[in-house]
Amino acid sequence: MPRQRQKVTSREKRRNQKDAVQQIQNNKFTMREIEPITETQEDLFDSYNQGLNFAAIGTAGTGKTMCAMYLALNDVLTKKDYHRIIVIRSAVQTREQGHMPGTKEQKESLFAAPYADITNDLFGRGDAWQILKTKKQIEFTTTSFIRGLTFDNAIIIVDECQSMTYHELDSVITRVGENSKILFCGDTRQDDLKSSRNRSDVSGLANFLKVLEKMNSFDIVEFTPEDIVRSGLVKEYILMKETLPAVA
């Protein structure tokens, strides 16, 4: 008796074709795996993998933002718990954005550049950031535009947090909605508020960290010049700068 062939419906065929295309896309759009380089980076990975929110605070060039972006991207792309990444940048340089010509996206594109560079580097292709934006898996904004928003099912990365007032930090953390995590990255030595034209602008990070220290859901990971991984030159410069208190 001849074997009967299983009939494949048009709907099943389209689904199979879609799955095949998706598999090809996934093979071409993959993020490289990175491992912690320093013990402090390893502490950061451990805190994140334990389900904690964190504040990565310390010297420039230690990979704080890179690690935060990698961990967040890995979860958004491999788990169903989180749908998108929200990158929020200090608004110090953008307080006058309302007077700049162009759309909100055009005004912010310059400040989103570092995160686009990190993302493109992690994927090894120059269009990774734009692809993720198109898929609504990543977005960028500044503290100028978060009032009234709630971020559900998201991983929120707050960068340059040392250049935010306490009011801004308070506004950001109260945007966290259901099933979301928030990651703060900052360097107390690069406080842009010191050069602000508004003398009432004072960094609120020190007082904000005092609150986070009392929260069981947060871990504060401190980076030192010994953790610098950007380059030998940067590490040497910062170490030498710290020997001259008047300069540092």
Map residue 25 onto helix, strand or coil. Answer: helix
Run of H or E including 87: strand 84-89
Instruction: Specify whether the CB–CB gap between 202 and 165 falls below 8 A.
Output: yes
Q: What average pLDDT does the structure give for the chain?
A: 84
List the chain domain ranges.
64-217
Mean pLDDT of 160-189: 93
Query: Residue 74: which of 122, 114, 110, 113 has the closest Cα?
Result: 122
Residue 94: per-residue pLDDT: 46
| pLDDT digits 0-9 by tens, 98-140 | 455 566 666 677 889 999 999 999 999 999 999 999 999 999 9
Mean pLDDT, rounded, for 151-170 = 95
The Cα 4–Cα 26 span in angstroms is 35
| Residue keyed to tokens 């998201």 | 154
Whether pLDDT at 93 is above 80: no
pTM for the structure as a whole: 0.81
H or E segment to which residue 219 belongs: strand 218-223
- Could you identify the residue written with the tokens 């700068």? 241
Asked whether the predicted pLDDT for residue 172 surpasses 70, the reply is: yes
For the chain, what percent of residues have pLDDT higher than 90? 58
Give the DSSP H/E element, type plus range, for residue 154: strand 154-159
pLDDT in tens, 30-61: 899 999 999 999 999 999 999 999 999 998 89
Check residue 176 and give its pLDDT.
97
User: Which whole-number Å values give the CA distances from 155 to 10, 31, 91, in the listed order?
Assistant: 38, 17, 19
Mind listing the pLDDT tens digit for each residue in 189-235?
765 555 545 555 788 999 999 999 999 999 999 999 899 998 889 88
Q: What is the dihedral of CA 214, 42, 33, 132, to 10 degrees?
A: 20
| Amino acid, single-letter form, for residue 62 | T
172, 146 Cβ separation under 8 angstroms = yes
| Across 10-28, average pLDDT | 57
Confidence at residue 187, expressed as pLDDT on a 0 to 100 scale: 86
Rounded to 10°, the helix 64-78/104-123 angle is 80
> How crowded is residue 54: how many other Cβ atoms within 10 Å of its Cβ?
27
**Can you give the pLDDT at residue 244?**
79
Token pair 């309302």 is found at: 98
Task: Classify the C-alpha dihedral 4-5-9-10 as positive or negative.
Answer: negative
- Beta-sheet pairing, 84-89 with 138-142: parallel
Say which residue, 110 or 7, is predicted with more confidence: 110
Q: Is the pLDDT of residue 159 over 60?
A: yes
**Residue 24 pLDDT > 50:** no
Cα 193 from Cα 165, distance rounded (Å): 8
**pLDDT at 27 (0 to 100):** 60
Class of domain 64-217: alpha beta
* Residues recorded for the chain: 248
Whether 92 has a pLDDT exceeding 80, the answer reads no
